[in-house]
A and B are shown apart, each in its own frame.
Chain A
Amino acid sequence: SYELTQPPSLSVSPGQTASITCSGDKLGDKYVCWYQQRPGQSPVLVICQDYKRPSGIRERFSGSNSGNTATLTISGTQAMDEADYYCQAWDSSTVVFGGGTKLTVL
């Protein structure tokens, strides 16, 4: 079965850039989405189809995908960005989520 691998945690200082990676075999051949989940809340889509931002998502969220790695980049990270982030892709008709990355802003 297809697997997506994320680092369990990442720490960044306020105002800095956070880059969260998601790795999978030939992941660049697939579309990747990213979801933000704040504590006690449901996930929220922040990036779809590799780099597209849904309406209402701040411009400092961006995405890229090439080779075996997709990256979610948060520019000018703020305290409100502290959350778990999950990447997601499709393996034929089945959904695959990465294990999640806990982003700490300190």
Chain B
Amino acid sequence: QLQLQESGPGQLKPSETLSLFCTVSGGSISSSSYYWGWIRQPPGKGLEWIGSIYYTGGTYYNPSLKSRVTISVDTSKNQFSLRLSSVTAADTAVYYCAAIYGSGSWEGYYFDYWGQGTLVTVSS
């Protein structure tokens, strides 16, 4: 059973860069069955997909965030990461990392395991 744990600063000032890490345990991040994703949830609001990455480094981003987002993978550490630049108060949210399981076309993939989430607050 996979376990995912987010880590990183919980407080940022406007214009700074958010950096979060997700450490995967209980399985290999190099598994061919999984993509790895970041999702966020502003307080009291719904889920927003940020982006996904495969262990080989291929990335897919939410078009609305693409200009500010970078997702990377470090297979040696069984870890993937999120960088979001030029943050504002609107980026205040709980950030989740998740394992996306499937095979074949995207249609068959689903978010199988989720981290506990980490609250990131952007405030001056």
Interface centre among A33, A43, A44, by most chain B C-beta atoms within 10 angstroms, is: A43
Measured CB to CB, the nearest residue on chain A to B96 is A42
| Total contacting residues, chain B, CB less than 8 A | 22
Q: CA of A92 to CA of B63 in the docked complex: distance in angstroms? A: 12
Which residues of B48-65 have CB atoms within 8 Å of chain A's CB atoms?
Answer: 48-49, 52, 60, 62-63
Q: Which of A44, A45, A86, A94 contacts B47 (CB 8 A)?
A: A86
Q: Is B14 an interface residue (CB 8 A)?
A: no
Q: How far is the CA of A94 from the CA of B47 in the complex (A)?
A: 14
**Proximity string of chain A (9-50) to chain B, C-beta cutoff 8 Å, 1 when within and 0 when not:** 000000000000000000000110101010000111100110
**Which residues does chain B contribute within 8 Å of A95, judged by CB atoms?**
37, 39, 49, 52, 62
Interface residues on A, range: 20 to 34
Q: Nearest chain A CB to B42's CB is how many angstroms away? A: 12
Candidates B37, B96, B111; contact of A45 at CB < 8 Å = B111
Check A43 against B60 for contact (C-beta < 8 Å). no
CA separation between A43 and B106, bound complex, in Å? 20
Bound: A30/B115 CA distance, A: 26
**For residue B114, which residues in chain A have a CB less than 8 angstroms away from its CB?**
42-44
Q: How far is the CB of B16 from chain A (nearest CB, A)?
A: 26
Shortest Cβ gap from A75 to chain B (Å): 22
A105 in the interface, Cβ–Cβ < 8 Å?
A: no
Identify which of A42, A90, A93, A100 gathers the most chain B CB atoms within 10 Å of its CB. A42
Contact across chains for B111 and A43 when beta carbons are under 8 A apart: yes
Q: What distance in Å separates the Cβ of A29 from its nearest Cβ neighbour in chain B?
A: 9
